[in-house]
Amino acid sequence: IKQCILRSRNYKFRDVILPNETPVIVGRGPQTRIRDRKCSKCQVQITALYKSKKAIIRQLGTNPSEVDSGLLAADQELEVVDGCNINLLEGDLKYTLEFLTTEPETRSKHKHSSRTPGATSKKLKLSSSPPRYDDTSTPQEECSPSIGEASASKEDISLQDSIADEETSLETLHQSVVRDFNSLSTQDRWEEYDHSKIFIFTPAGIKGQNKVAAFDLDHTIITTQSGRVFPTSTDDWKIFYAEIPGRIKKLHNEGFKIVIFTNQKGISRGKTSAPDFKKKIQRIVQKLGVPIQALVSTGHGKYRKPNTGMWDYLLQKCNQGIPIDVKSSIYVGDAAGRLENWAPKKKKDFSCADRLFALNVGLQFYTPEEFFLGQKPANYKMPLFDPRNIRTTTLAVKCLPLPKEDLNSDTIFASSSEMVVFVGFPAAGKSHFALSYLIPKGYVHINRDTLGTWQKCVSEASKALSNGQKVVIDNTNPDLESRKRYIEVAQKFKVPCRCFLFDCSLEQAKHNNVFRELMNPDDKHVGVNDMVLNSYKGKFVEPSLKEGFTSIIKVNFIPQFKNKNEEKLFKRFLIEK
């Protein structure tokens, strides 16, 4: 055995050389270029045993690592063999253990790869005994020195300085590292990123370009051989139109980088085999005869079109640092919002995701029929909610009883005890409104998500009104029955009961919901699914004074943003139709 390497399956992270019978600490830091704070700086200790082609891995970090789909408990040791898959975090930061019998290939992205096989990298943390460690993930987090290293030598200090210097230069090196690595790539490769939410296929020899010709996959590049809408197997496909291969080769010869962006939610749902789908992509690229990069969104979230996560990833990490001229680039897809019978006997498009994706990025958009067959553009329908056109400045309007009256932050609240009942879709901005305008004015906030049942909400409302307080009921309250119980409590204590009706459509509520999830992907707040939103719409009855309300206030949706990036994201189309 010439060398043992912990080989990263994601080119952005470094391989780690494992010297014979020498414990090596692997984790977050310049040694690996891992920055995910869920990964400890002392995540695992690995000792390679060249003679037996095995290694001993010991779990050190708080968050468990994964070995061939089995999790490592804290301080657990496990013997692993050549070819074993080691994930430093569950399902992420993926590596493979490799014992090499020949001189290893050098890779320019690893500074230590040019050393002789028997040499020890200066970046490795070596210990002769089990290390002590601190998993608090503070900036000062470091492994404690092993026995026999009580005093730091000049070489240790020099090593610390070199690591610090390297950390400050990582960002400036990133583009050149990616460019050098990609230019030397001689094999097709697959990568998975962000807990496998996105797959990236990069064929051998593909180069970054300043203009991109991008395509959807299903019903754009391919269709089913069986004639069904969804493929019956991995092999159930054929090129959609005979004109496609020639047109794509022409684009390639004109200097376009060819890219596929495809939504494949079935992968995360377990309905589509990830390995089989990867093979399918490679066969399609081989059939087309030109190098094509493919980015695959495997579920919900920022990578799923019409969101721009896949495009952003291409721009930042998959084009060798070359900026892309959006105005010279194009996107072709079939999800274009076309109406029924846009062509004879053609059904309406299932969504508008491809057209909206192109609009969000700023790309010139074509349908497959327009681009490959030269057909005239068909009529289409844009989503009912356009996030670019929210221009309301009035906070709220008292609609009933007449006359109407504009209300602002100084006139929206009452000076004495009252009941305010919210009515509106989930994700309509109700809780934010209460937190911004009513709770600071002394209103008792009552919410079913917090209390659990409507009975507890009624009880808490009665208690607050009995103490002469002001109350806001922050629930959806779509129908007469849900509102009646609070109106009766207000009448019992002889206080006014105002209805605040949030002016938010079903489509806007869906948009707001996706925006909230994209802005706070790790938030404990559970996202609302379409079934809940559609259920509200089905139950909704327009509030009226006859129910017992003293007035009905229409609350306008006025988004507030912390920065320009939030505003930019909100004004993109985030839902597919």
Residue 117 domain-assigned (yes or no): no
- The answer on 269 and 194 residing in a single domain is yes
Residue 180 domain-assigned (yes or no): no
- Provide the edge-to-edge strand list for the sheet that holds 443-446: 405-407, 396-400, 551-555, 497-502, 419-423, 470-473, 443-446
Query: In this structure, what CATH number is given to the domain that contains residue 52?
Result: 2.60.200.20
- The answer on 457 and 316 residing in a single domain is no
- Tell which residue, 28, 274, 240, has the closest CA to residue 134: 28
Query: In this structure, what CATH number is given to the domain that contains residue 517?
Result: 3.40.50.300
- The answer on 88 and 14 residing in a single domain is yes
Residue 126 domain-assigned (yes or no): no
Each residue of 453-501: pLDDT tens digit?
Answer: 999 999 999 999 999 999 999 999 999 999 999 999 999 999 999 999 9
Structural domain harbouring 562: 396-571
- The answer on 45 and 11 residing in a single domain is yes
Pairing label, strands 92-100, 3-8: antiparallel
Alpha-carbon distances, residue 80 vs 44, 96, 158, 234, 485 (angstroms): 13, 11, 34, 33, 64
Contact partners, residue 141, CB within 8 Å, separation at least 6: 40, 41, 134, 135
Residue 129 domain-assigned (yes or no): no
Alpha helices in 302-423 (DSSP H): 309-317, 353-361, 368-373
Quote the distance between the C-alpha of residue 87 and its chain's center: 20
Residue 385 domain-assigned (yes or no): no
At 217 the pLDDT is 98
Residue 90 CA to residue 81 CA, distance in Å, equals 19
At 115 the pLDDT is 39
Helix (H, G, I), strand (E, B) or coil at 81: strand
- The answer on 468 and 352 residing in a single domain is no
- The answer on 343 and 210 residing in a single domain is yes
- The answer on 431 and 360 residing in a single domain is no
- DSSP secondary-structure letter at 254? T
| Residues with pLDDT less than 70, the chain | 69, 103-186, 522-527
Helix (H, G, I), strand (E, B) or coil at 350: coil
Residue 65 domain-assigned (yes or no): yes
At 407 the pLDDT is 95
- The answer on 339 and 486 residing in a single domain is no
Residue 225 domain-assigned (yes or no): yes
Helix (H, G, I), strand (E, B) or coil at 206: coil
At 90 the pLDDT is 85
Total number of domains constituting the chain: 3
Alpha-carbon distances, residue 57 vs 31, 63, 87, 253, 359 (angstroms): 18, 15, 12, 49, 49
- The answer on 411 and 343 residing in a single domain is no
At 431 the pLDDT is 93
- The answer on 211 and 344 residing in a single domain is yes
The pTM for the full model equals: 0.68
Query: In this structure, what CATH number is given to the domain that contains residue 287?
Result: 3.40.50.1000
At 525 the pLDDT is 52
Helix (H, G, I), strand (E, B) or coil at 199: strand
Residue 420 domain-assigned (yes or no): yes
- The residue among 70, 100, 130 that closes a domain is 100
- The answer on 560 and 507 residing in a single domain is yes
- The answer on 300 and 208 residing in a single domain is yes
